[in-house]
């Protein structure tokens, strides 16, 4: 387990490796910018003023601490367990991504940068980035594939409303991977005034380490809250895993507690065929994507495979390198949940708790439904509710119509 015995701001090894995963697999032109960023982050970590300012933004802007909500009717439905939801859905902009965006923009300002770039697939990270850029009065450009822009027109509008420029990327598959390439190109060219705000625990060192630290506030709060509510630590933590930032955010502070089981839930999509899911541990193998060595969905020639998930936030061919290390060490278990099960969980949580979860978070809820029979009556569980489901309501309405599940919703 990588440096898990050290404090929350101690990282991977000096080369940015988590038990061999991670690192910096980038063209020579990106080495300088990454080294500059690493140095700035190491300085910031040692500066109490940086933490104080971030904490102030968390409280006064993002709405932290987020509540830990007992899910009694949901637990009653399962029949066992004492289940709590960590409510990242209640943050400003409705998901945990704002935690990382605030941390990075504070760092960008510290580095004297005046311009922020990012790439986005579904638009969630683009919106979080545009939000913090507006707050700090920085210029902001978001790269987005034209196919994604078509599918996520409302988020394109949101980003523009927030003052960001959305740059259409019309090459390749016109989706996230192509947008990443364009954003990298921009960064190399404009690094003097530009910070590249990466959205998950992905990319080259120091991103996976830095983003994890910014998200670790989730687990630190959850620990305090569960101790206050129950007087003991949880036995089980469950979170969905796209790139892996909300999951490591919840898990990190608990990694050193041997009694706590942790489950990361990937997108099982339509089924196990390559191209139909985003379950990197079940269907992937070691490979490099976006500058980092991890588990990647690829064909036998190393070409990155297509992916599918009902939830855009989990639909990505690589997983963060720290998760690869946690997987191999056995410290965290990874599993996958298919689209239908996630949709069922989406409906169930809405009805039992009055909380419409993001489709991503619904994967974690679905895993808990499946595990129900294994729980003891008093098993203490925390599920990370990474985001709210308002963004998914139109899509779910369409799917439920198609599948003719509508009849069941009276």
Ligand X SMILES: *Cc1c(COP(=O)(O)O)cnc(C)c1O
- Choosing from 241, 310, 324, 343, the residue that interacts with ligand X (CB under 6 A) is 241
Q: Does position 269 bind ligand X by CB under 6 A?
A: no
Phi, psi of 250 (to 5 degrees): -75, -45
Closest CA to 111 of 30, 61, 25, 50: 50
Among 99, 152, 155, 246, binds ligand X (CB under 6 A): 246
Q: How distant, in Å, are the alpha carbons of 77, 307, 367, 370 from that of 373? A: 12, 31, 12, 7
Between CA 143 and CA 196 the distance in angstroms is 11
The helix-helix angle for 124-136 and 97-110 (nearest 10°) equals 40
* Contact with ligand X (CB under 6 A) among 23, 126, 145, 244: 244
Q: Is the dihedral of CA 143, 149, 151, 157 positive or negative?
A: positive
**Residue tagged active-site, from 19, 38, 86, 97:** 97
Is 386 known to be catalytic? yes
Question: What's the closest the beta carbon of residue 247 comes to ligand X, in angstroms?
Answer: 6
Asked whether the CA dihedral 10, 11, 15, 17 is positive or negative, the reply is: positive
- 323 makes contact with ligand X (CB under 6 A): no
Residue choice 91, 155, 175, 200 for contact with ligand X (CB under 6 A): 200
Q: How far is the CB of 377 from ligand X (least distance, A)?
A: 30
Least spacing, CB of residue 211 vs ligand X, in Å: 8
Which conformational region is residue 40 in: left (phi greater than 0), alpha (psi within -120 to 50 degrees), or beta?
Answer: alpha
Number of chain residues interacting with ligand X (CB under 6 A): 19
> Smaller CB distance to ligand X: residue 82 or 280?
280
93/225 with CB nearer ligand X: 93
Q: Is 182 a catalytic residue?
A: no
Spatial separation of the C-alpha atoms in residues 56 and 354, rounded to whole Å: 30
Q: With binding defined as CB under 6 A, does residue 294 bind ligand X?
A: no
**Given 62, 68, 85, 95, the residue binding ligand X (CB under 6 A):** 95
Q: 143 or 191: whose CB is closer to ligand X?
A: 143
Q: Which stretch binds ligand X (CB under 6 A): 3-11, 44-52, 101-109, 234-242?
A: 234-242
Based on the residue annotation, tell me whether 119 is a catalytic residue of this protein: yes
Q: Which of 240, 289, 349, 380 binds ligand X (CB under 6 A)?
A: 240
The residue at minimum Cβ distance from ligand X is 387
Contact partners, residue 177, CB within 8 Å, separation at least 6: 304, 317
| Gap between the Cα atoms of 391 and 88, Å rounded | 15
Distance CA 36, CA 191 (A): 10
Q: Which of 38, 88, 119, 322 is catalytic?
A: 119
- Please state, as a whole number, how many other Cβ atoms lie within 10 Å of the Cβ of residue 153: 11
Segment interacting with ligand X (CB under 6 A) among 3-11, 241-249, 332-340, 373-381: 241-249
**β-bridge mates for residue 269, sequence order:** 338
Active-site positions read 97, 119, 386
Q: Applying CB under 6 A, which residues contact ligand X?
A: 95, 97, 124, 200, 240-247, 313-314, 358, 360-361, 386-387
């Amino acid at each position: 387990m990588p440096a898990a015995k050290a404090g929350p701001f101690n990282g991977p090894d000096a080369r940015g490796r988590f038990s061999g995963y991670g690192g910096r697999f980038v063209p020579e032109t990106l080495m300088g910018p990454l080294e500059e960023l690493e140095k700035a982050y190491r300085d910031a970590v040692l500066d109490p003023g940086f933490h104080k300012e971030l904490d102030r933004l968390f409280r006064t802007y993002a709405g932290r601490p987020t509540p830990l909500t007992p899910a009694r009717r949901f637990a009653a439905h399962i029949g066992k367990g004492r289940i709590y939801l960590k409510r990242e859905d209640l943050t400003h902009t409705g998901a945990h991504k704002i935690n990382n965006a605030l941390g990075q923009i504070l760092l960008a300002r510290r580095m004297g940068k005046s311009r922020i770039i990012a790439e986005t697939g579904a638009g969630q990270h683009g919106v979080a980035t545009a939000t913090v850029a507006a707050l700090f009065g920085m210029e902001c450009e978001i790269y987005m594939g034209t196919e994604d822009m078509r599918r996520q027109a409302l988020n394109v509008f949101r980003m523009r409303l927030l003052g960001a420029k959305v740059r259409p990327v019309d090459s390749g598959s016109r989706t996230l991977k192509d947008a990443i390439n364009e954003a990298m190109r921009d960064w190399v060219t404009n690094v003097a005034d530009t910070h590249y705000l990466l959205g998950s625990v992905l990319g080259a060192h120091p991103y996976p380490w830095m983003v994890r630290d910014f998200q670790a506030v989730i687990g630190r709060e959850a620990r305090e809250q569960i101790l206050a509510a129950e007087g003991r630590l949880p036995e089980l933590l469950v979170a969905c895993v796209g790139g892996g930032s909300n999951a490591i955010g919840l898990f990190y502070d608990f990694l050193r507690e041997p009694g706590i089981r942790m489950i990361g839930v990937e997108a099982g999509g339509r089924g196990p065929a390559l191209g139909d899911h985003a379950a990197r541990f079940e269907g992937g193998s070691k490979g490099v994507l976006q500058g980092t060595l991890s588990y990647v969905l690829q064909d036998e020639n190393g070409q990155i495979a297509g992916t599918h998930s009902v939830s855009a936030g989990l639909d990505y061919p690589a997983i963060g390198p720290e998760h690869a290390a946690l997987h191999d060490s056995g410290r965290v278990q990874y599993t996958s949940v298919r689209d239908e099960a996630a949709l069922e969980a989406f409906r169930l949580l809405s009805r039992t708790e009055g909380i419409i979860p993001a489709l991503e978070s619904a994967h974690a809820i679905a895993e808990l439904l499946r595990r129900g029979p294994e729980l003891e009556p008093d098993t203490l569980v925390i599920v990370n509710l990474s985001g709210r489901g308002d963004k998914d309501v139109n899509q779910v309405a369409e799917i439920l119509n198609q599948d003719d599940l509508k009849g069941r919703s009276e």
